[in-house]
Amino acid sequence: MQAQHNRLKMMIIVALFASMIGILAQVTIPLPIIPITGQTLAIGLAATILGSKFGTYAVILYCLMGAIGIPVYSNLSSGVSVLFGPTGGFIVGFIPTAFITGYILEKTSFRIMTAMIANTVGMFVTLAFGTAWYKISADVSWTVAFTTAFVPFIVVGLVKAYLASLIGITVRKQLIHAKLLPTGTPKQKHDTTIESTTTIQ
Structural domain that includes position 148? 2-200
- Predicted confidence (pLDDT) per residue in 30-48, tens digit: 877 777 889 999 999 999 9
Q: What is the 3-state secondary structure (H, E, C) of the chain?
A: CHHHHHHHHHHHHHHHHHHHHHHHCCCEECCCCCCEECHHHHHHHHHHHHHHHHHHHHHHHHHHHHHCCCCCEHHHECCHHHHCCCCHHHHHHHHHHHHHHHHHHHHCCCCHHHHHHHHHHHHHHHHHHHHHHHHHHHCCCHHHHHHHHCHHHHHHHHHHHHHHHHHHHHHHHHHHHCCCCCCCCHHHHHHHHHHHHHHHC
**Alpha-carbon distances, residue 63 vs 31, 56, 58, 77 (angstroms):** 22, 11, 9, 12
Say how far apart CA 6 and CA 59 lie, in whole Å: 20
pLDDT at res. 32:
73
Return the number of other C-beta atoms located less than 10 Å from residue 107's C-beta.
13
Q: What is the CATH number of the domain that holds 35?
A: 1.10.1760.20
Write down the pTM of the prediction.
0.87
Say how far apart CA 103 and CA 113 lie, in whole Å: 15
Total domains present in the chain: 1
- Predicted confidence (pLDDT) per residue in 68-123, tens digit: 999 999 999 999 999 999 999 999 999 999 999 999 999 999 999 999 999 999 99
Confidence band for 198, pLDDT divided at 50, 70 and 90: very low
pLDDT at res. 189:
52
Q: Interior CA angle at 164 toward 11 and 194, to 5°?
A: 80
In one letter, which amino acid is 77?
S
Say how far apart CA 165 and CA 114 lie, in whole Å: 8
Alpha carbon 76 to its chain centroid, in Å, reads: 19
